[in-house]
Structure 1
Amino acid sequence: MKSRIGERLCSTEDGTPGNGTYSRHGYIFASLAGYVVKENDNGMVPVISVVRDSEPQLLPEVGVVVTCKVTSINPRFVKVHILYVRSTPLKGTFRGTIRREDIRATEKDKIEVYKCFRPGDIVLAKVISLGDAQSNYLLTTAENELGVVVAHSEAGEQMVPISWCEMQCPKSHGKEFRKVARVQPEFLHT
Structure 2
Amino acid sequence: MEGKLVLPGENICPISEFDVGEGTFAREDFVCSALVGYVQIVNATSAGQASTITVMRGNEQTCVPKSGDIVTVKVVKINPRLASVDILCVGQRVLEESFSGIIRQQDVRATEVDKVEILSSFRPGDIVRAEVISLGDSRSYYLSTAKNELGVVSAKSVAGAQLVPVSWQEMQCPATLAKEYRKVAKTA
The secondary structure found in structure 2 opposite 1:162 is strand
In structure 2, give the amino acid aligned to 1:156: G
- 1:151–1:159: 8 Å Cα contact kept in structure 2? yes
Cα distance per residue 1:125-181 (max 9 Å; x no partner): 00000156x320000000000000000001100000000000000001010000000
CA shift, 1:92, in A, is 1.2
- After the TM superposition, which segments of 4 or more aligned residues of structure 1 sit over 4 Å from their partners? none
In structure 2, give the amino acid aligned to 1:94: F
The whole-number CA distance in structure 1 between the counterparts of 2:58 and 2:88 is 19
How many residue pairs get matched? 136
- 1:146–1:183: 8 Å Cα contact kept in structure 2? no
Larger Rg: 1
Structure 1-normalised TM-score? 0.68
Instruction: Choose the corresponding residue for 2:69, options 60, 64, 67.
Output: 64
Structure 2-normalised TM-score? 0.68
Instruction: Choose the corresponding residue for 1:110, options 92, 110, 115.
Output: 115
Paired-residue identity, %: 55
Corresponding residue for residue 139 of structure 1 = 143
The whole-number CA distance in structure 2 between the counterparts of 1:78 and 1:136 is 11
1:175 aligns with 2:182: no
Alignment RMSD, CA only?
Answer: 1.8
1:162 aligns with 2:166: yes
The whole-number CA distance in structure 2 between the counterparts of 1:33 and 1:107 is 42
Tell me, which stretches of 5 or more residues in structure 1 are unaligned? 6-31, 35-51, 185-190
Corresponding residue for residue 148 of structure 1 = 152
In structure 1, give the amino acid aligned to 2:182: R
The whole-number CA distance in structure 1 between the counterparts of 2:106 and 2:121 is 12
In structure 2, give the amino acid aligned to 1:169: C
